[in-house]
Amino acid sequence: MLTEIKTYDTETFRKKHLKEGSALNELFDKSLKDFFCLRLEDIVPETKLPILPSRETSHNIILITEGSYTTKIGFKEYIIRKNTLAIIQAGAIFSVDDLSNRMKGFGCHFHPNTLIGKFGNLSLISAFEFLNIGYDPLISLQEAACNAIINILTRLHNEFKRGEKMNADIVHSYLYALLTEIKICHPQSPVKPQNASLKLTAEFYNLVHQKARSNLKVTDFANLLNVSPNHLNKCVKSVTAKNATTLIDEVKLIEIKYLLYQSHLTIRQIAFEMGFDDPSYFSRFFKKYERVSPKAFRKMID
């Protein structure tokens, strides 16, 4: 009988794999939701193992500066060594059997929503292609690049440790700096996805980012990709555990949040900008996922 592969958000994964009574729990409770940056030597001793094949709704970037560990990402086993970045993309299947307490480095965890802020640039998110499932999860770093990334991760770590005093603008800025440094180090020609479903899902996800304001449906994307809607849904579901419509809505929500956060457009104007003919339906769409109206969301930001 096949074991179900569970999908966790940050909170449920923490409850599952962080030891009870850990001093880190209090820090997590006082910090930004869906973000942390910690030294591996602090978090590894507090982690309950093994981590069975799972998915997370957030991205994880791990830098090893001393030691190594073995993990499975997608369909392949990897050994993460010194001066190597491992990128476990949101939605990717991963598992870990054991971790060495002698291992050192950083673990940076963030939901795509964490990138929404004063300094965000929506076009950059789709440019960080290494965050898409299907791209090689490992990047070997030269010494200069490794030192630059360590400096950024150290700054993010120090800010996270401030707990409730953490400055979200600083987190946003340094996250973008981190991803930009990684993009410079990432191979120009990414490793091709390991199967047809991964390849199609990566192409679909990139296209959804490009067409976020076009209000296209699954059928429209299937036509652009020259596949049937059923085949597209089946491939996306096998890779991400979500259907194609859900992924379209998630990308659309990120775009909407950027407009709410960074523009001076009215709610009605944002609705039309995003391809919604009915502002009331736009508000219902937003509230369905965020549990607050666009107007209330903007007030929370202010």
For each of the chain's 302 residues, which pLDDT tens digit applies?
A: 344 678 888 889 988 999 988 888 888 887 777 899 999 999 999 999 999 888 898 999 999 999 999 999 876 899 999 999 999 988 888 999 988 888 999 999 998 878 876 666 666 666 788 888 767 889 999 999 999 999 999 999 999 999 888 998 899 889 999 999 999 887 654 555 557 888 898 889 888 888 888 889 999 999 999 999 999 999 998 888 889 999 899 888 888 988 888 788 999 999 999 999 999 999 999 999 888 999 998 887 76
Q: Residue 200, Cβ neighbours under 10 Å: how many?
A: 21
DSSP 98: -
With respect to residue 43, please indicate whether it lies within any of the assigned structural domains: yes
CA distances from 192 to 137, 146, 199, 222, 277 (A): 12, 25, 7, 21, 39
CA distances from 49 to 18, 67, 97 (A): 9, 18, 6
- Look at residues 155, 185, 215 and tell me which one is the last residue of a structural domain: 185
With respect to residue 1, please indicate whether it lies within any of the assigned structural domains: no
What is residue 48's predicted lDDT score, i.e. its pLDDT?
92
What is residue 2's predicted lDDT score, i.e. its pLDDT?
40
Q: Domain of 74?
A: 6-185
Residues 142 and 277 in one domain: no
Helix 196-210 / helix 244-262 crossing angle, nearest 10 deg = 30
What is residue 64's predicted lDDT score, i.e. its pLDDT?
95
Residues 166 and 232 in one domain: no
- Domain with 230 in it: what CATH number? 1.10.10.60
- Domain with 181 in it: what CATH number? 2.60.120.280
What pTM did the predictor assign? 0.79
What is residue 149's predicted lDDT score, i.e. its pLDDT?
97
d(CA 39, CA 173) in angstroms, rounded, equals 20
Residues 80 and 228 in one domain: no
d(CA 156, CA 147) in angstroms, rounded, equals 14
Residues 45 and 168 in one domain: yes
- The tally of domains found in the chain comes to 2
Residues 17 and 164 in one domain: yes
With respect to residue 190, please indicate whether it lies within any of the assigned structural domains: no
- Look at residues 141, 159, 185 and tell me which one is the last residue of a structural domain: 185
Residues 251 and 124 in one domain: no
Q: Residue 98, Cβ neighbours under 10 Å: how many?
A: 10
With respect to residue 191, please indicate whether it lies within any of the assigned structural domains: no
Residues 84 and 149 in one domain: yes
What is residue 120's predicted lDDT score, i.e. its pLDDT?
60
With respect to residue 178, please indicate whether it lies within any of the assigned structural domains: yes
